[in-house]
Amino acid sequence: MKQETFRGTIVYKTLEGGFYALHTQKAQHFTLKDLPTPFRRNGLIVDVTGYIDNNAITITQYGKVFIVSSVTIIDDSQVNPIGNPIGNPVKDPINKRL
């Protein structure tokens, strides 16, 4: 399978017990699979390398599944704890929205 690299923000989603997603610079959304534990940080800006699994079916319904093979941290200054209060949303500097 073809390896690809995307730059984006790791975001924790609470659906069905929670999962980690990637919001890319090009406004793509992926459900991340095999994201190593040290990178499971809400708001972390990264370069993620891996491949898109076009055959995967998930309950997340949040973009295609991206199988992670490596991660490089670009910026950790926007990391917020999971469960951040609604009054203090996580800023997504890649997509310039809250």
What are the pLDDT digits (tens) for 72-96? Answer: 999 998 888 765 533 344 555 555 5
Residue 35 contacts residue 17 (beta carbons within 8 Å) = no
CA distance 94 to 69: 22
**Bridge partner list, 45:** 9, 75
What are the pLDDT digits (tens) for 11-50? Answer: 999 887 789 999 999 999 999 999 999 999 999 999 999 9
The reported pTM is: 0.79
Predicted confidence at residue 81, as pLDDT, reads 76
**Bridge partner list, 66:** 32, 52
> By three-state DSSP, how is residue 37 classified?
helix
CA distance 10 to 12: 7
Predicted confidence at residue 30, as pLDDT, reads 95
